[in-house]
Amino acid sequence: MTSADKNQPRSIPGEEGVWVFIIGDMIVFALMFGVFMYYRALNPELFASSQLNLRQDLALANTVFLLCSSWFVVLGMDSLRTVNLQKAKWAYRGAGVCGLAFVALKYVEYSEKFASGIAITTNEFYTYYFILTGIHLLHLIVGLAVLGFILQVARKPKLEDSDLRNAESGSLYWHMVDLLWIVILAIIYLV
């Protein structure tokens, strides 16, 4: 490495440590997606017929909410960097509202399933449907707490470098939650 390289600004977003978390978590989800595909290959008819009962409209609405929330997070992070704190606060609030809307729709979706007598033990498809979407929902709820934390950062009168670093790490987490949902949408609801 030359001295010129050392003077370059760091190009990895967030701090290094948060990537331990993100890559680790994506590996776990990759394993779970693999498990789902494996069981689907063993029993394609059951998986295809059960999938027809899922609410694709709610899933698509939730996708739109999460994509919007990610856009709000990008906007918020950009506003934090340019010290436009008022705008940053509104952007992170917007992301939080989209996240809450996602939770509300998931509640509707799960309630409908339970009301029609479908539960985690109904068949193999629903076992993995509830496990994958449930673990994702758990991540999203943690993400709402993270957004709340970033909002507290934006309320500070003066931002330190460490505040920006923490906000960036938290925003990365939110993007990961969004990305994982896109994969869940594809393999559980659509394909």
Q: Which of 81, 79, 103 is nearest to 92 (CA)?
A: 79
Residue 47 CB neighbours (<10 A): 20
For 60, other C-beta atoms within 10 Å of its C-beta total: 13
- Among residue numbers 111 through 140, which ones bind other proteins (CB under 8 A)? 120-121, 124, 127, 131, 135, 138-139
Residue 142 in contact with other proteins, rule: CB under 8 A: yes
Does 186 bind other proteins (CB under 8 A)? Our answer is no
Token pair listed for 187:
């393999």
Separation between Cα atoms, residue 157 and residue 123, nearest integer Å: 54
Min separation Cβ 39 and other proteins, Å: 7
Tell me the residue ranges of DSSP E strands in the chain.
none
What is the C-alpha to C-alpha distance for residues 43 and 173, in angstroms, rounded to an integer?
34
Q: Is 14 left (phi over 0), alpha (psi -120 to 50) or beta?
A: left
**What is the nearest approach in angstroms of other proteins to the Cβ of residue 84?**
26
Residue among 75 and 177 whose Cβ is closer to other proteins: 177
Report the alpha-carbon distance of residue 47 to residue 42 in Å, rounded: 9
What lies within 8 Å, CB to CB, of 45 at 6+ separation is none
The distance of closest approach from Cβ of residue 128 to other proteins in the complex, given in angstroms and rounded to an integer, is 9
Mask: binding to other proteins, 69-108, rule CB under 8 A, as x and -?
----------------------------------------
Stretch that binds other proteins, among 10-18, 93-101, 152-160, 181-189 (CB under 8 A): 10-18
| For other proteins, the closer CB: 30 or 64 | 30
Q: Which of residues 12-71 bind other proteins (CB under 8 A)?
A: 15-18, 20-21, 24-25, 28, 31-32, 35, 39
Query: Which tokens in the block code for residue 171?
Result: 């925003």
**Which positions lie near other proteins, rule CB under 8 A?**
15-18, 20-21, 24-25, 28, 31-32, 35, 39, 120-121, 124, 127, 131, 135, 138-139, 142
